[in-house]
């Protein structure tokens, strides 16, 4: 910056103070700031008075610092009497500085400006701001990142808990040989009870029917499919039992064609 400073005549601008017209001082300082900060400097707007002189120029200078993850800028507006009075100042922060520190920096800048009255002070105020930030806000960006990562981690844990709770809805009793045998026994008992109920309802109108009584007794006494399979393997199924189940199978096939509520005609008679 020293080379730019001497080349642009910035030393004369800073040292001039007092004897120059405020508008002329402001114009010279703007030129010097644009040469020093280059892309970090941006002229936002400039109003003109009745004589066409540039007054109340508004501009910004970057305070960005990649090493501390700071993205911020100083915004100044000249007053008509500047530099005999401080410029209007604002601090804008995109990231890397807490709201508390932003307010403290702005207050410190306003206090520092009162010490520089009478000569161009924007460069000095920008330097003061950079030094103040380095001394007071070094951990702001890292604290913000830690808070963000902590929030993200908390959300991940909460989502995981919700997922586990949702999956529990689909978890039943684990299937083992014992639990399957218990389920099968209960299922077969329910099937027998359902068959007996159908026959009993059909016979309700004629409780004296011997056919109803014999059918009901046969249903209550018959073996389950598993029992029949085991008996068949042991060779202990007699001809009458085999004939009974063959007849049951034929009637079941016929019932499929006529509906599940079909009751054999001989039961109804």
Instruction: List pLDDT tens digits, range 150-206.
Output: 444 455 666 677 777 666 655 666 778 888 888 888 888 888 787 777 767 767 656
Q: Which residues pair with 65 in a beta bridge?
A: 70
Tokens (6 digits) for 50: 């009745």
pLDDT on residue 206: 61
Pick from 100, 102, 109: which is nearest to 128 by CA? 109
pLDDT given for residue 168 in this prediction? 61
Sign of the CA dihedral with 160 first, then 165, 166, and 171 last: positive
The two three-digit tokens of residue 165, written as one number = 């709770």
Which parts of the chain have pLDDT scores under 50? 1-7, 13-16, 48-54, 147, 149-153
pLDDT at 4: 47
pTM of the model: 0.48
- pLDDT score recorded for residue 106: 95
Element (H, E) at 58: strand 54-62
> Would you say the C-alpha torsion 183, 185, 188, 193 has a positive or negative sign?
negative
Please choose, from the candidates 51, 3, 57, 67, the residue with its C-alpha nearest in 3D space to the C-alpha of residue 28: 57
Of 35, 117, 37, 42, nearest in space to 82 by CA? 117
What 3-state class would DSSP assign to 241? helix
CA distance 86 to 69: 29
d(CA 28, CA 35): 11
The reported pLDDT for the residue numbered 145 is 53
Are 65 and 133 spatial neighbours (Cβ–Cβ below 8 Å)? Answer: yes
Locus of tokens 């100042």: 89
Q: What is the pLDDT of residue 58?
A: 92
Q: What is the pLDDT of residue 1?
A: 42
């Amino acid at each position: 910056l020293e080379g730019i400073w001497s080349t642009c005549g910035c030393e004369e601008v800073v040292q001039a103070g007092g004897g120059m017209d405020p508008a002329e001082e402001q114009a010279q300082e703007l030129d010097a700031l644009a040469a020093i900060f280059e892309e970090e400097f941006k002229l936002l707007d400039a109003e003109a008075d009745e004589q066409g002189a540039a007054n109340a120029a508004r501009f910004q200078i970057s305070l960005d610092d990649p090493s501390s993850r700071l993205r911020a800028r100083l915004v100044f507006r000249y007053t008509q009497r500047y530099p005999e009075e401080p410029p209007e100042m604002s601090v804008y922060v995109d990231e890397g500085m807490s709201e508390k520190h932003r307010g403290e920096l702005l207050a410190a800048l306003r206090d520092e400006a009162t010490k520089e009255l009478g000569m161009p002070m924007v460069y000095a105020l920008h330097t003061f701001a950079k030094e103040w930030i380095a001394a007071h806000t070094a951990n702001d960006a890292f604290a913000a990142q830690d808070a963000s990562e902590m929030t993200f981690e908390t959300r991940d844990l909460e989502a995981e808990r919700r997922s586990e709770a949702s999956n529990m809805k689909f978890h039943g009793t684990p299937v083992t040989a014992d639990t399957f045998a218990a389920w099968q026994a209960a299922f077969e008992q329910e099937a027998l009870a359902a068959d007996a109920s159908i026959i009993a309802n059909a016979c309700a109108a004629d409780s004296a029917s011997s056919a109803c009584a014999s059918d009901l007794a046969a249903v209550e006494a018959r073996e389950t499919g598993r029992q029949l399979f085991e008996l068949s393997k042991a060779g202990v199924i007699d001809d009458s039992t085999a004939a009974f189940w063959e007849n049951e199978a034929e009637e079941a096939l016929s019932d499929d064609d006529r509906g599940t509520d079909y009751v054999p005609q001989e039961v109804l008679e």
